[in-house]
Structure formats: structure tokens, C-alpha cells
């Protein structure tokens, strides 16, 4: 860990003064020697000044230069990470296994079973503090939607994107969901701090769920089940182009009524040493679940080293001043001009002391305001923390820490335009290190994502990964943004197609107002035009699809290069499985 840095690294250019002063000094000595040679025999002239010492002269100059070096270092505000604390994060590992089969569209619980389940998960995420969370979605098969992480923001992003159409195989394979969730844990860690929360309506289409729950309990993993729905159940809505078009029916034409299977979920919870909670339209079940999670054993999941940087400029300044005093006290035979200059030396020293102290006191005051702002930020007082950060920037407008934290405060206040501008300023700051720059790109991407500027957000995340290709949180956000960008382009394409169709209908209505003969003639012409339009639409549509596929492929390739094999875009995997499933899987129950 880097435990040393400069608060004002930009002042490093002052060191160029040292070789310049050395050059001037030796040119002065050379000029002085030439003058002495012109006066007569140098040896005779030397005897006229017996008290003069050339060695002392060099010593004095060396002390002066060394003093300047320490004073420049002092002005650069050296900081040491002397206060190093080892902090342990206490928490648990939690995997949320969410049923996304079609039966979760039932509206016996408003607004629907799936949306109610997503609301519950969001409340769980909000309550977590130090815990790690992962999300698994399942229907006829389970998939990892979000690998286990402490990035709660990423968890909410992925949660919002969950829907019943994201899995290729319908059904409710709870046993497979438990097995897949277990694989997401670090099984080398035998501590009992792991839990799986299964949120489903319990219509299990497999018979090994209880067996898998028992196996999980043997591995020290608690299985909690959450029943979403009512015992009397409800029909499953069918949708066409985003609009409700009736209810799902079985092969005999009867409306399917999906019911909550509480006995099954209760048995799974008992086998997994967990609890069963039923979620209805009230918050009673939700509160019971949150209390159960809060009671989980908290263990040391991760140790981190935090370094508090202390300003140490005063020590370098003190050494510099002592060297100046020593240089002043060393005597040599001086000219009258040098004596006059020497009279001003105490005032020069005092001036340097005052300048150095005031400059770094200014920096100390700025850093103090940042610490005060950080404390307010941790207390969720984002508006007050913003004021502290802005005051800090008034004292030092190039302080990257104050600028970065101000961007965070503005983001928390949902002022995404302002936060984006601030993070852009941080990125352009020449005094930041690569790690800070990568984080600034990440946060800029988050701000742009909130503004729905998906293309720009995508570029920000890519820039962050160029600097730090191992940042998992950035990878998650990048894949999510790519999905949103593709959806946005598809919606725009659909909108354009709809506008083209409306224009075409208007043209047909106009042609119908002509006489019968013209109608027949125009009808033939219209048919030709329609054929031509269809060909052109097909051609244009193919071109548009090529463009979309090209964009998706390019972005996906860049994404895959940045991400490790085990963290590939889950949605790409689901799409591939969906293609395979179309020809190989025969589904009798698709809810």
C-alpha cells in the first residue's frame, strides 16, 4: 500500500531552480576569478585576504541549496500514512433466488407477484450494512443475475432489469435454484454466515427441492423461503405488445389459476434450518424477513487497511530553516555588498517561514473541512456535506479529494447533471492518481446512467476499465448499460416503424377518395407500391438490424475482453440458451 504522497505535487517544478542557481553561482565564481587575475598575481592577492576560506564558501553555498531543497519539499506538503488501522468488516453472505416464471405475473398480490418480490428485495438491500449480496433468477433452470458483491447500487440496477422473459426455460425448479445459489458461495469458508432467500409462489415442478435444502443445511447454509401470492391464487395475464390480452390457458382451453404452495415452502425452510415467511399486500411478512436477516451471524468477511495521511511539511520546513541559520552563522571574509545583503537574510528567512506556514496551514484547513464533510456524508447529511466540500474548494480549488467527494454528494442528492460535470473536472485534474481517475470515470458513468445517457455512460465505464480492468463493479454496470442501450435503440426503431406505418395509412386513405376506375387503377398501383414498400422496408429493416447487431457485437466484444471468463455478461448466456432451447426443449408447463 502506498503510504506516502504529496499534497501539492504540482509544485515539483520548483526544483528546477536548484540547477539554475548552481549554474549562476559557478558562473559568478568564474567571473570573480577572472577579475582577480586581471588585478595581478593571484597568489599575492590571496595573501592580502588571509582570513578568506574557499572551503567555507562552498560549504555555505551547499547549505543554502540544501535548505532550498527542504523548503521546496515542505511547500509540496508531504503526507505520510502513519495512522494505519486494520478494520474488519462484519457481515453475512446472502443469495436472493428469485422466481421469474410466468406464474409470478399473477396479480393476486398487487401490483404483481414479481413486482412485489422486487420491492421486498430492494428493502433487503437497503437494510444491508457490510453484507454481501448476490441475485439468482430461476424458472425451469437457474442463472446468476448478479455475482455476490457489496455494491448495493449495482444490485438495484440489476434488480430493476429482471423480468419473466429473461429465461429460456419456463417452470419452477426450486431445487436447481438452491444448487446454483450454493455454487455462488465460497465453500472453503465453513463459518455459518451464509443464507439463501428463495422468493417464489412455490409451484415447484421438480421433486428434489427438499433434498437440496437438506444438503445446503449440511454445508452450513441457511435456507429461508418467502411465499408470494394467495392461497386462492389468481390467473396469469397474457400480454401482446405490452398490453394485457387475456389470461394464460392450458392445452384444454381452461384459464390457468396459479396458487401459493405454502406446505412445500414450509418444508423446504424446515429442511434448510431456516424460516418461512408469507408476503401479502401488507408489510408484516416483509418485516419478519428483515428481522430474520438482521439476526444472522455476522463474521469477519474481509480485512482492509486504511491509511490516514498526516501532513509532515513542518519537519522539512524546520530542517530547511536550521540549514539557513547554520549557513548564516558560518563566517567568511565578506565584501561590503555581501554584508549589506546579509543584513536582509534574517528577514528573508522569516518571510520564507511565514509563507510556508501560511500555505500549508491553508492546506490543513482545507483537509479539515473535507474530513468534516466526510463525517456528514456518512450520516446521510448530503446537503451539509456539500457545503463543507465547497468551502474546502474555496480554500484550495485544486483539491481532488474535495472535488471528488462533492461529486458524490451531488449524486446522492440526485443532481446528476452537476455530479457529472464535477466528475469530469476530477478526471481532468492533473494531480490525481490512476486509481482515483478510474473511480471518477466509474462515478461519471453512474451519473450519466441515471440521466439515461447510455452511450456516454458506456464510454465512461470503458475508460474506467482501461485503467482498472479488474473492477467487478464497473463490469456489472457496463453490462447493464449495454442492455439499456440496446433496449433504447430497439424502442426507437419500433417508434420509427410505427410512424412509417401511419404515414402509409394516410396515403392509402387519400387514394380511396378517387372514382371507381381510378380506385381500381390506383389499387393496382397501390399494390405495386406496397410490394415496393415492403421490399424497401425489409431492406431498410435488415440494414437497421445489421447496424444494431454490429453495435451489440462490437460492444460485447469489448466487454468480454475487459471481463474475466466467469463474469461474462449473464444476459448473453441466457440468449444463447434461449436459442438452443427453441429446438431442443419441449415444455408442457410454461408457468
Model confidence band, residue 504 (pLDDT cutoffs 50, 70, 90): low
- Look at residue 511 and tell me whether its pLDDT is greater than 80: no
CATH code at position 106 = 3.40.50.410
Give the list of residues 6+ apart from residue 216 with CB closer than 8 angstroms, or none: 178, 182, 196, 222, 223, 272
pLDDT, greater one: 303 or 34: 34
Is residue 213 a contact partner of residue 271, using CB atoms and an 8 Å limit?
yes
Confirm whether 401 is domain-assigned: no
In whole angstroms, give the CA distance from residue 311 to residue 80.
7
pTM: 0.44
Q: Residue-wise over 412-446: b if at least 16 C-beta within 10 A, else e? A: beebbebbbebbbebbebeebeeebbbbbbbbbbb
Confirm whether 524 is domain-assigned: no
- Look at residue 415 and tell me whether its pLDDT is greater than 80: yes
Work out whether strand 142-149 and strand 132-138 pair parallel, antiparallel, or are unpaired. antiparallel
Model confidence band, residue 49 (pLDDT cutoffs 50, 70, 90): low
Specify which of 369-383, 497-511, 547-561 reaches the highest per-range mean pLDDT. Answer: 369-383
Cell of 591: 408457468
CATH code at position 557 = 1.25.40.10
Which pLDDT tens digit goes with each residue over 107-118? 888 889 999 999
Residue found by looking up cell 397501390 in the block: 526
Confirm whether 527 is domain-assigned: no
In whole angstroms, give the CA distance from residue 393 to residue 426.
12
Where among 297, 312, 339 does a domain terminate? 297
Determine the pLDDT at residue 537. 37
* 279 and 423 inside one domain: no
Determine the pLDDT at residue 180. 92
Q: At what angle do helices 209-218 and 262-271 cross, to 10 degrees?
A: 20
Confirm whether 373 is domain-assigned: no
What 8-state DSSP symbol labels residue 217? Answer: H
Q: Residue-wise over 533-554: b if at least 16 C-beta within 10 A, else e? A: eeeeeeeeeeebeeeeeeebee
Least confident of 30-44, 242-256, 456-470, 577-591: 577-591
Determine the pLDDT at residue 4. 67
Instruction: State the chain's mean pLDDT as an integer.
Output: 75
Confirm whether 19 is domain-assigned: no
- Look at residue 2 and tell me whether its pLDDT is greater than 90: no
Give the list of residues 6+ apart from residue 387 with CB closer than 8 angstroms, or none: 373
Three-state SS sequence of 166-187: HCCCCCCCHHHHHHHHHCCCCC
Determine the pLDDT at residue 585. 38
Surface-to-core class of residue 192, CB atoms within 10 Å of its CB (0-12 exposed, 13-18 middle, 19+ buried): middle
Q: At what angle do helices 400-412 and 382-395 cross, to 10 degrees?
A: 160
- Look at residue 214 and tell me whether its pLDDT is greater than 90: yes
Average pLDDT of 524-528? 40
Please compute, for residue 333, the number of CA atoms within 13 A of its CA located in the half-sphere on the CB side: 9
Q: Cis ω on the peptide bond leading into residue 464 (within 30° of 0)?
A: no
In whole angstroms, give the CA distance from residue 586 to residue 591.
13
Confirm whether 276 is domain-assigned: yes
The structural domain count of the chain equals 2
- Look at residue 24 and tell me whether its pLDDT is greater than 70: yes
Residue found by looking up cell 415467511 in the block: 277
Specify which of 87-91, 392-396, 563-567 reaches the highest per-range mean pLDDT. Answer: 392-396
Please compute, for residue 355, the number of CA atoms within 13 A of its CA located in the half-sphere on the CB side: 12
Confirm whether 235 is domain-assigned: yes
Is residue 265 a contact partner of residue 48, using CB atoms and an 8 Å limit?
no
Strand, coil or helix: what is 240? strand
What is the residue range of 239's domain?
Answer: 93-297
Where among 271, 297, 323 does a domain terminate? 297
What 8-state DSSP symbol labels residue 530? Answer: H
Residue 120's CB: how many other CB atoms inside 10 A? 23
In whole angstroms, give the CA distance from residue 154 to residue 147.
10
In whole angstroms, give the CA distance from residue 75 to residue 71.
6
Q: What is the dihedral angle through the alpha carbons of 96, 102, 104, 107, rounded to the nearest 10 degrees?
A: 160
For 239, list phi and psi in degrees, rounded to 5. -125, 140
Where among 281, 297, 313 does a domain terminate? 297
Residue found by looking up cell 440496477 in the block: 157
What 8-state DSSP symbol labels residue 249? Answer: B
Confirm whether 204 is domain-assigned: yes
The strand pairing partners of 303, in sequence order, are 88
Average pLDDT of 13-24? 91
Amino acid at each position: 500500500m502506498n503510504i506516502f504522497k504529496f499534497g501539492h505535487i504540482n509544485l515539483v517544478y520548483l526544483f528546477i531552480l536548484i540547477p539554475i542557481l548552481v549554474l549562476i553561482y559557478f558562473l559568478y565564481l568564474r567571473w570573480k576569478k577572472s577579475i582577480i587575475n586581471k588585478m595581478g598575481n593571484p597568489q599575492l592577492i590571496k595573501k592580502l585576504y588571509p582570513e578568506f576560506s574557499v572551503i567555507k564558501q562552498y560549504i555555505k553555498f551547499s547549505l543554502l541549496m540544501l535548505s532550498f531543497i527542504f523548503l521546496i519539499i515542505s511547500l509540496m506538503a508531504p503526507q505520510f500514512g502513519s495512522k494505519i488501522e486494520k478494520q474488519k468488516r462484519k457481515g453475512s453472505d446472502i443469495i436472493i433466488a428469485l422466481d421469474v416464471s410466468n406464474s409470478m405475473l399473477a396479480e393476486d398480490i398487487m401490483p404483481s407477484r414479481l413486482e412485489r418480490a422486487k420491492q421486498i428485495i430492494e428493502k433487503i438491500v437497503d437494510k444491508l450494512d457490510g453484507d454481501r449480496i448476490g441475485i439468482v433468477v430461476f424458472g425451469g433452470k437457474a442463472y446468476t443475475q448478479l455475482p455476490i458483491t457489496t455494491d448495493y447500487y449495482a444490485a438495484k440496477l440489476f434488480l430493476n432489469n429482471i423480468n419473466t422473459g429473461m429465461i429460456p426455460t419456463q417452470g419452477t425448479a426450486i431445487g436447481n435454484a438452491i444448487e446454483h445459489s450454493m455454487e455462488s458461495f465460497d465453500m472453503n469458508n465453513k463459518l455459518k454466515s451464509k443464507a439463501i432467500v428463495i422468493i417464489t409462489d412455490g409451484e415447484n415442478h421438480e421433486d428434489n427441492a427438499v433434498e437440496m435444502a437438506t444438503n445446503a443445511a449440511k454445508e452450513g447454509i441457511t435456507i429461508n423461503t418467502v411465499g408470494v401470492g394467495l392461497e386462492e391464487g389468481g390467473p396469469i395475464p397474457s400480454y401482446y405488445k405490452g398490453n394485457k390480452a387475456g389470461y394464460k390457458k392450458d392445452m384444454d382451453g381452461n384459464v390457468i389459476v396459479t396458487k401459493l404452495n405454502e406446505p412445500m415452502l414450509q418444508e423446504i425452510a424446515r429442511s434448510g434450518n431456516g424460516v418461512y415467511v408469507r408476503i401479502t399486500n401488507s408489510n408484516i411478512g416483509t418485516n419478519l424477513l428483515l428481522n430474520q436477516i438482521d439476526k444472522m451471524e455476522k463474521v469477519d468477511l474481509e480485512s482492509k487497511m486504511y491509511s490516514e495521511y498526516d501532513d509532515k511539511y513542518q519537519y522539512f520546513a524546520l530542517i530547511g530553516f536550521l540549514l539557513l541559520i547554520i549557513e548564516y552563522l558560518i563566517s567568511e571574509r565578506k565584501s561590503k555588498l555581501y554584508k549589506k545583503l546579509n543584513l536582509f537574510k534574517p528577514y528573508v528567512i522569516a518571510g520564507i517561514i511565514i509563507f510556508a506556514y501560511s500555505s500549508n496551514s491553508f492546506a490543513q484547513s482545507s483537509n479539515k473541512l473535507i474530513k468534516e464533510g466526510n463525517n456528514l456524508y456518512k450520516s446521510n447529511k448530503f446537503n451539509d456535506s456539500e457545503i463543507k466540500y465547497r468551502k474546502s474548494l474555496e480554500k484550495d480549488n485544486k483539491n481532488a479529494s474535495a472535488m471528488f467527494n462533492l461529486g458524490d454528494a451531488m449524486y446522492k442528492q440526485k443532481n446528476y447533471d452537476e455530479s457529472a460535470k464535477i466528475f469530469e473536472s476530477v478526471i481532468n485534474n492533473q494531480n490525481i492518481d490512476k486509481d482515483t481517475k478510474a473511480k471518477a470515470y466509474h462515478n461519471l458513468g453512474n451519473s450519466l446512467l441515471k440521466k439515461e445517457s447510455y452511450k456516454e455512460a458506456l464510454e465512461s465505464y470503458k475508460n474506467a476499465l482501461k485503467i482498472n480492468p479488474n473492477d467487478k463493479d464497473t463490469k456489472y454496470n457496463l453490462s447493464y448499460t449495454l442492455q439499456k442501450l440496446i433496449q433504447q435503440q430497439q424502442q426507437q426503431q419500433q417508434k420509427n416503424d410505427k410512424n412509417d406505418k401511419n404515414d402509409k395509412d394516410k396515403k392509402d386513405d387519400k387514394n380511396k377518395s378517387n372514382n371507381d376506375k381510378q380506385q381500381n387503377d390506383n389499387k393496382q398501383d397501390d399494390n405495386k407500391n406496397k410490394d415496393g414498400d415492403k421490399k424497401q422496408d425489409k431492406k431498410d429493416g435488415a440494414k437497421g438490424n445489421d447496424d444494431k447487431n454490429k453495435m451489440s457485437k462490437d460492444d460485447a466484444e469489448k466487454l468480454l475482453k475487459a471481463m474475466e471468463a466467469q463474469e461474462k455478461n449473464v444476459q448473453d448466456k441466457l440468449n444463447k440458451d434461449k436459442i438452443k432451447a427453441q429446438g431442443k426443449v419441449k415444455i408442457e408447463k410454461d408457468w
